[in-house]
Structure 1
Amino acid sequence: MLACQIHFAKKNKQGEEICGDSICVKRDEKKFAMSVSDGLGSGVKASILSTLTTSMATTMLFNGVPINEVFSSILATLPICKVRGISYANLCSVVFNADQNLCSIVEYEFPVTLYFRNKELIKLERRTIIVEAKEISFSEIIPQEGDLVFVMTDGVSQAGMGTQNFPLGFGVENIIREITVLLENNINPKNIVDHLVKLAKQIDRGTRGDDALAAVVKFKTLQTVNLFVGPPQDKSKDEELVQKFMKQDGKKIICGGTTAQIFERILKRKVELDLRSFSEEFPPIGKMDGVDLITEGIVTLTHVFRYLNGQQERLAYGASILVDMLLEADQVNFFVGRAINPAHQNPLFSHDISLKFRLIHDIAQILKQNGKIVNLEYC
């Protein structure tokens, strides 16, 4: 069964603190919906309108509401610019039903939607639907593993508009050429969208430019990562929970030395340390038969959170591997032991709130925002 993996990057218009382009993602094991919208203008007003548009479209399409009803609701909600006579936000939605292996793409006044297969551009067979006297473009395709859907706002396609090099903007043809070259050089989709947004920012240099957002959906086999952090609250359940964790499909990660010792005791297997990964800040990572990665606990998770939240750029070896595994996964299952280590308590909070719980919650929220299926089980 195929699943969708999403990556996106965006930039604000120069002088604006908020991006007027928005993205919203909803998914479970069998369905995926993503919407991207560009609010007219920039700043807070554009952000509110594009966020409203993506939230309505994604929620309704994910829940199977017919396209004409979805757009009737959106068009009735969005105001119309009195000067230009156009809606205050455009929209592109990508919906994938895994049971049917069917991808639907819906576009309303949207500038750039590109479908790639085997590193080549595939022409979508679009048909037009009229809703409230507005033209809605609709296409369907049966995806294959490795297919990519690139969606980007006009902050990318119109980057550099008015400059000597790009008087009419960077343009869709240049975007296609850029993506094709990068794919031929085996650059991964995440780095491609990062590059496109950085390129738009570079081309806009000397101008105010515009908000820009680029996203890519990759069709791939569902990949699951299971992470066990912290000892269970009830020691009598150690064996039951360890055995349950080991039966999970997908990759397995253990965070915390005490937790690793519990697995050693129950499974009667030894943790093999990788001394090459030792640093002043972190103990070495480890592996165990049946377990893909074993790391230190709270400090490693703190660095993982800071990296995912954009607070730091570099990671030690173990934290870097953990981040890569989480970002590559489509589904992340957290098993969080309730046993509280007094050394990990924040004195500003009450005794029953653990830093560990806060970290896991915050990491889980970031992963959800990045389109991951996240499950939390406390034990």
Structure 2
Amino acid sequence: MLTCEIYYAQKNKNGEEVCGDTIKLKKTEDKTVVSVSDGLGSGIKASILSTLTASMATTMVLHDVPISEVFSSIISTLPTCKVRGISYATLATCYVNHANGKCHIFEYDFPVVLFFRDNKLVELKKIEHIVQGRKIYESRIEVNPGDTIFLMTDGVSQAGMGTPRFPFGFGLENIIQELRNLLINKVDLRSITNHLVRLAEALDRGTKGDDATVCAVKIRERRNITIMVGPPEKKENDKIVVEKLMNSEGKKVICGGTTSQIVEKILGKQVEIDFSSISEVSPPIGYMEGVDLVTEGIITLSQVFRYYEDQDSTLGVGAQKLIDMLDESDVITFLVGRAINPAHQNPLFTHDISLKFRLIHDISQILEKRGKVVKIEYY
């Protein structure tokens, strides 16, 4: 199963407080949709127009609305500049199906869409659609791990326009050459997007310049993690949950002392305690055959939450390892037991809400904001 890593960087037009370009991203376990829109002009007005355009496209494409309806809705919603006779926002939307690798890229007056495979530019065949008299171009390709798609607004391609060195702007060919060199030298995509925006900023010195946005979509294999937290409410579900953990794809974590005892009993295996991992701030971690990490429960989860919230950077070995695993994962599944430990009750809440449930809920929300797909199953 595939997934997409998204990196982007932006700059505002000189003198503007907001960027007139907008990026919108929606990701599920099965698909990724990312849209980049450039509003006409700059500032607040451009930002509102591009936000509306990118939001509509991303949401509708994610829900499999036919592309003619997507652009009919966008074109009907957005006005047309009476002076220039052009749309008030350009758009590029990239859709990737994680299961079959099918990728569709839709362009509406968008300046730069580039597809690289093995550090080489691949020419995309474009299908023309006419929607309400406007030309919409669609590219279809089956993506592989390692492929990269770049979407850039004209603030990059036209950077430096009017200067002696680039009187007509930096240009598409220079962008391609720059990207080819960076990819061959294995520069990471976060650095590439930042570099191109800084380059546009440098080229625009002494000119009015424009908003500039660079978005990179990297295709790779998906990374999963499943975390069993707490014993099930009913003992007869112990075996079901343990089997679900062990049969899950990707990394496996057991969180909680009682939880690890249940897994030991069901599998007939022992947790090997790493006594060298004991510290003043947390109990030791453990290891079990077929499991990547065994940790204590509430203390570890509390440290993870406080770390993500920038409340406390003090971490035990278990919390640090768990955070590292969460950060590198794309799909995170919590198998949460409903059995409540009275010692973990928070007196500020009603009797049936445990600290464990609250922590998992809050950590999940943080991870989702970071672009992770999070699933919580209760037993």
TM-score bucket (shorter structure): 0.7 to 0.9
1:6 maps to 5
Match of 1:271 in 2: 271
- The equivalent residue for 2:126 is 126
C-alpha contact 1:228 1:335 (8 A) present in aligned 2: yes
Structure 1, unpaired ranges of 5+: none
TM-score, length of structure 1 as denominator length: 0.79
- Distance in 2, matches of 1:303 and 1:165, equals 53
State the 1:245 CA deviation.
1.7
Q: Contact (CA 8 Å) 1:8, 1:194: kept in 2 or not?
A: no
**Aligned equivalent of 1:250:** 250
Q: Deviations over 1:95-117 (max 9, x none)?
A: 23456543211111223322111
Where do residues 87-102 of structure 1 align in structure 2 (5 Å cutoff)? 87-97=87-97, 101-102=101-102
1-structure distance, mates of 2:156, 2:300: 36
Look up the equivalent residue of 1:290 and give its one-letter code.
G
Distance in 2, Cα, partners of 1:283 & 1:368: 28
1:312-342 deviations in Å (ceiling 9; x for gaps): 9997765554344334434322212234456
For the 8 Å contact 1:11–1:201, the answer to whether it is kept is no
Bigger mean CA offset, 61-70 vs 132-141:
61-70
- Number of the residue aligned with 1:374: 374
CA offset digits 1:340-375 (Å, max 9, x no partner): 456655565444444443443344345445554432
1:343 and 1:287 map into 2 onto residues whose CA distance is 26
5+ residue gaps, structure 2, are none
Distance, in Å, in 2 between the alignment partners of 1:339 and 1:98 is 35
Letter in 1 for 2:7: F
The aligned counterpart of 1:287 is 287
| Aligned-partner Cα distance in 1 for 2:296–2:168 | 53
Contact preservation (8 Å) 1:16, 1:42: no
| Maintained 8 Å contact 1:20/1:41 | no
Aligned-partner Cα distance in 2 for 1:40–1:313: 44
Question: How far did residue 251 of structure 1 move?
Answer: 1.9
Compute the displacement of 1:162 (Å). 7.4
User: What residue number does 1:56 align with?
Assistant: 56
Alignment of structure 1 residues 1-379 onto 2, 5 Å: 2-11=1-10, 13=12, 16=17, 20-29=21-30, 31-41=31-41, 45-82=45-82, 84-97=84-97, 101-157=101-157, 171-190=171-190, 192-193=192-193, 196=196, 212-274=212-274, 280-298=280-298, 300-301=300-301, 304=304, 318-319=318-319, 321-341=321-341, 349-369=349-369, 372-379=372-379
TM, length-normalised to structure 2: 0.79
Aligned residues: 377
Q: 1:43 to 1:104 in 2, by over 3 A?
A: same
SS at match of 1:87: coil
Give the Å deviation of 1:187: 3.9
Structure 2 Cα separation of the partners of residues 145 and 258 of structure 1: 40
Secondary structure of the 2:270 match is coil
Shift of 1:199: 6.1
Task: Name the CA distance, whole Å, in 2 between partners of 1:87 and 1:307.
Answer: 45
Distance in 2, matches of 1:347 and 1:165, equals: 69
| The structure with more radius of gyration | 2
The answer (yes or no) to whether the contact 2:61–2:70 under 8 Å persists in 1 is yes
Name the SS of the counterpart of 1:90 in structure 2.
Answer: strand
Cα distance 1:254–1:93, how it changes in 2: closer, same or farther (>3 A)? same
In 1, Cα distance between the equivalents of 2:282 and 2:160? 45
CA offset at residue 140 of structure 1?
Answer: 1.4
Give 1:322's aligned amino acid. Answer: L
1:40 to 1:307, Cα distance in 2 relative to 1, 3 A: farther
Answer with 69-78 or 142-151: which moved more: 142-151
Amino acid at match of 1:107: E
Q: Is the 8 A contact 2:106 2:139 kept in 1?
A: yes
Cα distance change on mapping 1:81 and 1:178 into 2, 3 Å: same
What letter corresponds to residue 22 of structure 1 in structure 2? I
Q: Give the Cα–Cα distance (whole angstroms) in 1 for the partners of residues 366 and 214 of structure 2.
A: 18
Deviates more, 1:249-258 or 1:297-306: 297-306
Contact 1:27 1:371 in 2 (8 A): no
2:307 & 2:157 partners in 1: Cα distance? 29
The alpha-carbon distance between structure 1 residues 100 and 338, as it changes in their structure 2 partners (threshold 3 A), is closer
